[in-house]
Amino acid sequence: MRKTITFLIVFLMLFGNSHIACKKVFGESLQTQTPSLEISAKSAILVDFDTGRILYEKNSHEKLSPASITKIMTMILICEAIEKGRIKLSDRVVASQNASSLGGSQVYLKENEEMTVEELLKSIAIASANDACVALAEHIAGSVQEFVYMMNKKAKELGMLDTNFVNPYGLDAENHYTSAYDVAIMSRELLKHKIIRKYLTTWVDTIREGKFGLTNTNKLVRFYRGCTGVKTGSTDKAKFCVSASALRNGLHLIAVIMGAPDSKTRFNEATKLLDWGFANFSMYSPYSKGYCFGKVKIKNGIEKEVEAILSTDVKLLVKKGDESTVESKVALPQQISAPVKAGQKIGKLELWQEGKLLGAYDLIAKKNVQKRNLFDIFRILFRLEI
């Protein structure tokens, strides 16, 4: 009995708060009250790309079959391999028998057919090609199994606690699942890779020297203003899913719909979430990186003072019309001692709204200021005497 109780305590400590830990990936939700949005899909979520704030969610941690939305993680690993120099867009990849035999959405690779990494990546991002996923998975990791291991490792690194991948393309398989919350996490991660954005937003393209056409499975790319991606998916088990992102007036939103009854519904409900987000929220950017908030005196420095500048752009998600209620509070010391290094933290900017801290940002020294030496002191005294 005692062993059973001990096991239960350990289990709860390890797994009981898994969703709480996952919540921290996106930060506090701004959904203070349930919006008048009727979403028929099994689960959904709307998040802000820049701040990671949740604007709306419905059953966002329910584990569901993701279909081809799986390919978001596949594309993340491809982008990382390119950016790290492990592969190049111009590299030629030879399709294996394994890749050529795969069903579902595909570009009909033949065994031993050669394509460039770029052609295969386009085929995944635009046409959701399963065979292209296998070809690149084998090219990057040596085998599909090893690539899937990399997918699950990356998912854990990103804090995707509702996810387990079994393949890189998303065909229904036992123990292959994710959640709307986790799809939003990996969608946000994928959009950080600039190399993929042009493919995600391409409506039509070709491969095989123009002989084979590609049409984007995400209709929002063509029909929704500001659409930036991301991916669709559908199988008998998963029903119809979409991760849709859009950028308008500096506000970048990601809407995920999972388990919609049909294709039309998934696009309509993603559109509904995005429209609601753009109608009710705005990105407030009062200060840019490098903005000067004053000067700080320097003790024993070859210069008397240094400018305190903002270390990064300030981006705050606020409800439309509430921008004027945001207050800035600057904390700077009266004096600091030399030497001072450029980029050294010397102060802090806080932004508040109705008694609530919205964000804190470092103020840093604009340049190096060296400490006075004996020669500098004599030079100053000499100037004073003259």
For position 16, what pLDDT does the model report? 40
Q: What stretches in the chain show pLDDT beneath 70?
A: 1-24, 27-35, 374-386
Candidates 23, 42, 71, 272; catalytic one: 71
Instruction: Judge whether 65 counts as a catalytic residue.
Output: no
The answer to whether 213 touches 119, Cβ cutoff 8 Å, is no
Q: Residue 67: which H helix or E strand, with range?
A: none
For position 160, what pLDDT does the model report? 98
Three-class SS state of 308 = strand
In the chain, the domains with their CATH numbers are: 43-281 (3.40.710.10), 288-374 (2.60.410.10)
How far is it, in rounded angstroms, from Cα 307 to Cα 59?
48
- Token pair of 380, please? 């100053």
Candidates 43, 68, 96, 105; catalytic one: 68
Instruction: Judge whether 29 counts as a catalytic residue.
Output: no
| Phi and psi angles of residue 184, each rounded to the nearest 5 degrees, phi first | -65, -40
Q: Where are the beta strands (DSSP E) in the chain?
A: 43-48, 54-58, 92-94, 114-116, 204-207, 212-215, 227-235, 239-248, 251-260, 281-284, 292-299, 305-310, 316-319, 326-331, 335-337, 345-353, 356-365
Residue appearing with tokens 């899909």: 41
Q: Under the phi-then-psi rule, with left for phi > 0, alpha for psi from -120 to 50, and beta for the rest, what region is 300?
A: left
Long-range Cβ contacts of 172-176 (<8 Å, 24+ apart): 172/65, 172/67, 172/235, 172/236, 172/237, 172/238, 176/65, 176/66, 176/70
Candidates 128, 187, 234, 282; catalytic one: 128
Three-class SS state of 56 = strand
**Ligand-binding site membership of 122 (annotated):** no
Q: Measured between alpha carbons, how far is residue 367 from residues 234, 290, 377 in Å?
A: 54, 12, 21
Of 355, 359, 281, the residue nearest 313 (C-alpha): 359
How far is it, in rounded angstroms, from Cα 80 to Cα 130?
19
For position 36, what pLDDT does the model report? 74
For position 34, what pLDDT does the model report? 54
Supply the DSSP symbol for 177. B
Instruction: Judge whether 71 counts as a catalytic residue.
Output: yes
CA 352 to chain centre: 25
For position 10, what pLDDT does the model report? 36
How far is it, in rounded angstroms, from Cα 142 to Cα 361?
43
